[in-house]
Amino acid sequence: MTVQTLFQSTLMLNEEDKKQSFWVQDEVHLAHALTPLFASFMVPAVTEGTKLAFENLKMPLLQFRFKVADGRIYQDTVPYPGDPLQRLEEHKGTVGPILPVLKKMLQDYVDGEFLTYYRQLDEYRNQTLTLNEAKDKVQELHDFYRRAWQLHFEIVMPRSAFFVLEQLYGQLTGETHTTVIYDMLSGVMNKSLETDRELWRLADLANQSADTKAAFAGPADVGYKAALEQSEGGRVLLEHLQTVLETYGYRSSNSHEFNDETWVENPEHALRIIAAYTQKSYDFDREFAETVQEREARTREALAKMPEGELKQTFIRMYQWALDSWGLDEDHHFYIDAMLPAKSRLFLLKVGELLVEQGAFSDKEDICYLYLDELLEALSAPTPLHGTVEQRKIEHEANKQKQVAPFYGVPPEQPMNPVLERIFGGKPPEIQEKEQTFTGYAASQGTYTGTVRVVRNPEDFAKVQQGDVLVCKTTTPPWTVLFSIVGAIVTDAGGILSHAGTVAREYKLPAVVGSKVATSVLKDGDRVTVDGTKGVVHFGQF
């Protein structure tokens, strides 16, 4: 094992950290094992970025701290050290004016900072960089990462104010099942849905030609691009796909990583999804229009139950602001969580090529197995790093196979912040062996009985068949492509506002999330009934 440098030690969760704080493994956003280079960027970016963002928003939290253990991210939520009630009032005063303009705020950041910097990264890739120039650009990227995650949290955290909609709904209607408010926020177009819509349109195009249908009938492991290139219809489809990927292809299977191939690098990622879509009849535009109509009908019914008055007007105003900005959850991921690592990867591979030329290692992808300080040192004075890289690859593969601790330290006595619980989940597992049931959060209403398909990573996407029950640890936007195929969703991690819960409501799929146990209790081929209204999964024989 290599000796840790000072920089590397700042990334790692040590025994003293475990004694002093409560660290929870982030299964919702970062369930996978990270490479050294990505950890070098992500840990400081979130730790420092949240501190800046939370101060700007006057949050009643000081920051989120990230550390790495066994390749996984653990998060410590640091409370604000001052008077929490006074700070909460300051926060309300700061966030209030932001709520009506959240959508514009994101777009301004996207246009003014993110897309501008991404164009710079593209330019760097097309230049012949010296070692010193590459070093400066890598440091610049590291600095931008912190800025990006500061803006990330300045964009997403104000939306927690919309939690008050649940309280207002309960006060105005007398109902206790207040989470139905989130059904009134479905049918809002966002970048994940846009991506899925484009893939369905390409599937429809493929089904119009016998040649393209035949090309997609082949085995997925062989690939579809070569077969499509053999016909005029296939070449036309590939041209359309290239146009789609120029907008929607800056993504990878895990989003938060540098060593995952992006869609723009290899169209087979998108082609495998299109191939699956050609086997199913699904009208995306019609289904989305129906979701909008159902949302509007539910909203009219809810408003009709509310007595007139100032409280109802407050609800309506907050609801309209929430509806206008509800797409931010997927849109910020598209531009920040997914596109930033994708654009960064393409630039870093260029730097990797430079170091291959200098004899530092054998493959440009090996750059992912260096920590930032090692990379900067290599760009200052290149030396052979083959041994270091090979050892890191072994460690990374071992980390991927580890069953890691869900947390370190002593859990706090006070209950979890209800807003954070809506996103991250956190309820303890509840299994009833006699009844053959387990519970989670009721994230999307309805009941569905089907065959389990356990998906542990995007490499398993191909085994999902129409009507399967998707069982997984968590989902992120790249997983959205499965939602129009499956019949229900069950996850280990997350709350009702996690990606799985939010997107399940868009696709009208019963969903139980945050069960803690789904992937360990269930296996491929099991028959289950998912009750997304009650938050119960029945796993007995049917």
**Residues known to be catalytic:** 499
* 420, 153, 476, 67 alpha-carbon torsion, rounded to 10°: -80
Q: Cα–Cα distance between 93 and 90 in angstroms, integer?
A: 5
178 vs 151, 171, 315, 316, 425, CA distance in Å?
A: 31, 10, 13, 15, 17
- Closest alpha carbon to 468 in 477, 457, 460, 459: 460
128 vs 136, 342, 375, CA distance in Å?
A: 14, 20, 18
Burial category of 297 from C-beta neighbours within 10 Å (exposed 0-12, middle 13-18, buried 19 and up): exposed
E strand or H helix that includes residue 68: strand 61-69
Q: Cα–Cα distance between 523 and 530 in angstroms, integer?
A: 15
SS3 call for 523: coil
513: phi then psi, degrees, rounded to nearest 5 = -120, 160
Distant-in-sequence, close-in-space partners of 422: CB < 8 Å, separation ≥ 6: 163, 495, 496, 497
Judge whether 36 and 369 are in contact, CB under 8 Å: yes
User: How many other C-beta atoms can be found within 10 angstroms of the C-beta atom of residue 20?
Assistant: 11
- Closest alpha carbon to 342 in 481, 249, 460: 249
Judge whether 33 and 400 are in contact, CB under 8 Å: yes
Residue positions counted in the chain: 542
Q: Cα–Cα distance between 93 and 57 in angstroms, integer?
A: 9
Quote the DSSP letter at residue 433. T
User: How many other C-beta atoms can be found within 10 angstroms of the C-beta atom of residue 531?
Assistant: 21
Q: Cα–Cα distance between 179 and 181 in angstroms, integer?
A: 5
And the tokens for 88? 């909460």
